Amino acid sequence: MDDDSSIARLAAMLREETQRARPGDKLPSSRDLMRRLGVSPVTVSRAIALLAAEGRVVTRPGSGVFVAPVREPIAEAPDPSWQTVALGDRMVDDRGVVSLLARPADGVVPLTGGYLNPALRPVKALAAAAARAVRRPDTWAMPPLNGLAELRRWFAGEVGGTVTQNDVLVVSGGQAALTHAFRALAAPGAPVLVETPTYPGALAAAGAAGLRATAVPVDSGGVRPDLLAEAFAVTGARVFYCQPTLHNPTGATLTRERRDQVLAVARAAGAFVIEDDFARYLTTGPVAPPMVAMDPHGTVVHILSLSKISSPSLRVAGLIARGPAAHRLRAVQVVESFFVARPLQETALELVGSPAWRRHLGAVRQEIATRQAALLAGLARHAPSAVVGLVPGGGMHVWVRLPPGTDEGAVVEAARLGGVLVSPGRIYYPSEPPGPRLRLTHTAPDNLAELDEGIRRLGAVLTS
């Protein structure tokens, strides 16, 4: 009978036969199947068509039907979309940080970055310090959880005031210090005040901790204390993050008077000040003492990193705090990462205790002054439409304003295509930027000639 059931029975019988046979074996002919099973030609052809659709047989007109070659099953494409629900809607935004850490392609001039060019780093001094450190018999032993006593004593001496080694926690660089501080000092969902503009890594760390960044405007003298007081009152925030020396990106430095005012405002609000002193060793002139040295009450949580002035891989910083906040910060580090690797701490201690350290500081400060002057002269010559609002007293960067109406993103992309990398201003703002800006890094190029070439390429984009 030529009904569906007879087709199904014949197809089942042929499936079993293909399983017993080898690939390439010939199946019985249609005539044999018709004679042996008493089925019609239509039943045979439809059963074979089913097996062909399943990939079990191949038909060769004029030759017959053959068992198909064995094919590896096609693996199902991985589908991690289920994680979207499990992770929730809180996102860690690393774009601003990654853009500052990216390495330029060959032939591209970097006018962006957060560290000294390799030619300016104390590579020989670091190598010598590391060699001395690893020869110590206890270098591979577990260090004290809060850091080597000698290194903590050194950090305390650098900060001054009444800070002691007992107030210092050695952490894995400035970014880790920020992460610890945000998590320790504020609960997820709480507001945190930041300067605007500010360091993108701080915005990313605050966001990763689940905090809501609220902008406090700065002027040529740094954060405005009157607006800081208003922001504390409006938001109820209990943490303010700031960079009082060579503020990133504007280059502003708080005077002693304004530092006193910021401390008074924070104390009145019952709030902490996270003082990111990343540029302490990048100044080319005198600077006021750090706020932590002016603060006996534990208001300031201070960060002093060695990475900016030495090498990005020397991830060692001092995190200074007093009172219950200090205990919580130590607890956060122990829970998250135990401690900083002792060989790295020993290397840092050897470096800062060597004569090469002071020589390096002097050389870098002289190079910063030379490069900053070259950058300013290059902008005046090649890109006069890029306005420098403030000439900082050191640092790695200059903050420039583009003409109103300029498409900042288009400029950054055109510059990249033209062979020069610059930092877009928008990544430095926790809210809407007031206008098109660029941050230009003069310590990133290999030499003054490359620096001038980068400015020339940028100027060609701005005048096109």
pLDDT digits (tens, 9 = 90+) for 190-211: 999 999 999 999 999 999 999 9
Burial 287-324 (b: 16+ CB within 10 A, else e): bbebbbbbbeeebbbbbbbbbbbbbeebbbbbbbbbee
Lowest mean pLDDT among 45-54, 86-95, 169-178: 86-95
Q: H or E stretch including 251? A: none
Is the pLDDT reported for residue 2 higher than 60? Answer: no
By three-state DSSP, how is residue 73 classified? coil
Q: Compute the average pLDDT of residues 241-247.
A: 97
- Decide: 6 and 43 in contact? Cβ < 8 Å: yes
- CATH code of domain 4-67: 1.10.10.10
The CATH 3.40.640.10 portion of the chain extends over: 136-353
- Decide: 145 and 330 in contact? Cβ < 8 Å: yes
Q: How confident is the model at residue 74 (pLDDT cuts 50, 70, 90)?
A: low
Per-residue pLDDT tens for 34-73? 888 888 888 888 888 888 888 888 888 878 888 888 776 6
**In the block, residue with structure tokens 């002027």:** 219
CA-CA-CA-CA torsion sign (182, 184, 185, 186): positive
The better pLDDT of the pair 282, 53 is held by 282
In eight-state DSSP terms, residue 323 is: T
Q: How many Cα atoms occupy the beta-carbon half-sphere of 336 within 13 Å? A: 16
The CATH 1.10.10.10 portion of the chain extends over: 4-67
Lowest mean pLDDT among 6-10, 106-110, 128-132, 220-224: 6-10
Q: Compute the average pLDDT of residues 10-22.
A: 85
User: Both tokens of residue 208?
Assistant: 């990763």
Lowest mean pLDDT among 39-48, 93-102, 123-132, 238-247: 93-102
Q: What local confidence, expressed as pLDDT, does residue 417 receive? A: 93
Q: What local confidence, expressed as pLDDT, does residue 73 receive? A: 63
Decide which of 3.40.640.10, 3.90.226.10, 3.20.20.450, 1.10.274.10 is the CATH code for 136-353. Answer: 3.40.640.10
State how far the alpha carbon of 104 is from the alpha carbons of 107, 132, 450, in Å.
8, 33, 13
Q: How confident is the model at residue 1 (pLDDT cuts 50, 70, 90)?
A: very low
Is the pLDDT reported for residue 423 higher than 90? Answer: yes
Q: 223: which residues sit within 8 A by CB, 6+ positions away? A: 195, 216, 217, 242, 244, 254, 258, 262
Residue 249 burial (10 A CB sphere; 0-12, 13-18, 19+):
buried
The per-residue pLDDT of the chain, averaged, comes to: 91
Residue 24 φ/ψ region, left for φ over 0, alpha for ψ in the -120 to 50 degree band, beta for the rest: left
Q: What local confidence, expressed as pLDDT, does residue 3 receive? A: 62
Is the pLDDT reported for residue 361 higher than 50? Answer: yes
The rounded percent of the chain whose pLDDT value lies above 90 is 72
Q: Compute the average pLDDT of residues 164-188.
A: 95
Distance of CA 18 to the CA centre of its chain: 58
